[in-house]
Chain A
Amino acid sequence: MTLDLHSAPFLSLLLVFVSAAFTDNILLTRFLGLCPCMGVSKKVDASVGLGLAVTFVTACTAVLNYWVYRYLLIPLDIVYLRLIVFIVVIAAFVQFTEMAIERVSERLYQALGIFLPLITVNCAILGTSLFMITRPYNAAQAFVFGLGSGFGWLVAITLIGGIREKIDEKNVPPGLRGPGITLIVIGIMSLAFVVFSGMVKI
């Protein structure tokens, strides 16, 4: 099966990408993928590594789930099974990614450690598939939507990682240390991203 780029003009793909990555940023406006974000975003390079893995998995599983949904679940009239089917597709795909990362970069594999299995339960990935089927996308747009969501997540987590590296050296009230101050940072960034909304509509 090939991506059908002819029925979808390039501009529509660009719009889907920009809106998924910025106006509808999956981390900052949809609140998805926060748990791994809180865990990993202490360092920038770990953030980038996990962000790339998430982007890759999100884009690929969005289009895989699109095909499964369109050509399997709808014709067989078993849409109510979508949750279980989507999560199985994602889990299988993550297993594959984990093995790939282990081969390619030993250092990255050690840095991400326990967070790789957590990609399966990264809600950004399942969430992207669930939001994808509520919108009238074709396969190419589904792929770009996944790519944009993952990229938006990567940008957000990297920025947060950078800010947290600085904050660690500052004197934060004890009760606010760790998750508290991180949430406030994310809140302020979310304010900035909310300003984008209205620029592009999905």
Chain B
Amino acid sequence: MSANARDIFKAGLIGDNPIYRQVLGICSALAVTNLLANTLFMCFGVVFTTALSNLTVSLLRRHIPKRVRMIAQVLIIASYVMIVDTLIRALNPDIHRFIGPYVGLIITNCIIMGRAEAFAGQNPPWPSLLDGLACGLGYSLVLIVIALVREPMGFGTLLGYPLPARELWWHSWTIMVMPPGAFFMLAIVTWIARSRFDAQKETPA
């Protein structure tokens, strides 16, 4: 991997992490994180869509007139989301029933739109693909961390399997699977991440 590619990944995962740094795409981040299985399917959908729509926007960047680029990007993204939607329904209809509307909402996920607009519109295809992958993975990273806390605390399970000996020590913390729990968890993750990485950034300067 070249130094350039490493920089792109580092930015997507930590420095410019779409969720806690740019605060984009948090809608779906909160809705699907009460069960880890839902989260993993959602992450798959987002990584797939960001990477490929970034690639497509970048390939077509010289052919799309400036004035209609927003609508062109939305249509490119929507086509990929339709593929993801169909794939998830085929792979796991039960999960699709629950996260279905949120999969459709990947279209309006501002991460994807934002990357298409900010990066893929000005860069060649290969870095754009990497950038899309990195941002999708940065998004997934935060979601998985949140789901890893919410599912065990709220349901006492992990990926649907009960925690070991949970009747001895575990007590249901219902608020974690309800909407407020999602907001608090994301706030805490943002707080920790910002304090930690901002402190690092300031030391060498």
Residues of A whose CB lies within 8 Å of any CB of B are: 28-35, 38, 80-84, 87-88, 91, 117-118, 120-123, 125-127, 130-131, 134, 173-176, 178-181, 183-184, 186-188, 190-191, 194
Of the A-B pairs whose beta carbons lie under 8 Å apart in the complex, a sample of 11, sorted by A's number, is A28-B179, A31-B27, A31-B29, A83-B82, A84-B79, A121-B109, A127-B105, A173-B191, A176-B190, A179-B187, A187-B184
Would B104 and A126 count as touching, CB distance under 8 A? yes
Closest chain A CB from B71 CB (angstroms): 6
Taking a contact as CB atoms closer than 8 A, the residue among A35, A80, A121 that contacts B74 in the complex is A121
When A32-B27, A184-B184 are in contact, do A176 and B191 touch as well, CB less than 8 Å? yes
When A121-B74, A131-B101 are in contact, do A174 and B81 touch as well, CB less than 8 Å? no
Say yes or no for B64: interface residue by CB 8 A criterion. Answer: no
**Within 8 Å CB of B75, what residues of A?**
84, 87-88
Residues of B whose CB lies within 8 Å of any CB of A are: 20, 23-31, 70-71, 74-75, 78-79, 81-82, 85-86, 101, 104-105, 107-110, 113, 175, 178-184, 186-187, 190-192, 194-196, 198
Q: In the complex, what distance in Å separates the CA atom of A117 from the CA atom of B108? A: 12
Q: In the complex, what distance in Å separates the CA atom of A123 from the CA atom of B75? A: 15
Q: In the complex, what distance in Å separates the CA atom of A81 from the CA atom of B79? A: 9
Would B31 and A35 count as touching, CB distance under 8 A? no
Would A186 and B74 count as touching, CB distance under 8 A? no
Q: In the complex, what distance in Å separates the CA atom of A184 from the CA atom of B187? A: 6
Closest chain A CB from B36 CB (angstroms): 18
When A175-B191, A180-B190, A194-B178 are in contact, do A121 and B78 touch as well, CB less than 8 Å? no
Closest to B82 in A: A83
Would A31 and B30 count as touching, CB distance under 8 A? yes
Would A35 and B23 count as touching, CB distance under 8 A? yes
**Within 8 Å CB of A30, what residues of B?**
31, 179
Given A127-B27, A130-B101, 11 other A-B contacts at CB below 8 A? A31-B182, A38-B26, A87-B108, A117-B70, A121-B109, A123-B27, A126-B105, A176-B191, A180-B191, A183-B190, A191-B180
Would A80 and B86 count as touching, CB distance under 8 A? yes
Would A123 and B108 count as touching, CB distance under 8 A? yes
Closest chain B CB from A144 CB (angstroms): 19
When A126-B104, A127-B101, A175-B198 are in contact, do A83 and B85 touch as well, CB less than 8 Å? yes
When A35-B25, A80-B82, A84-B82 are in contact, do A187 and B71 touch as well, CB less than 8 Å? no
When A131-B101, A175-B198 are in contact, do A187 and B180 touch as well, CB less than 8 Å? yes
Q: In the complex, what distance in Å separates the CA atom of A131 from the CA atom of B192? A: 34
Closest to A127 in B: B105
When A34-B30, A35-B24, A184-B187 are in contact, do A83 and B81 touch as well, CB less than 8 Å? yes
Closest to B77 in A: A87
When A122-B108, A174-B195, A175-B194 are in contact, do A187 and B26 touch as well, CB less than 8 Å? no
**Within 8 Å CB of A175, what residues of B?**
190-192, 194-196, 198
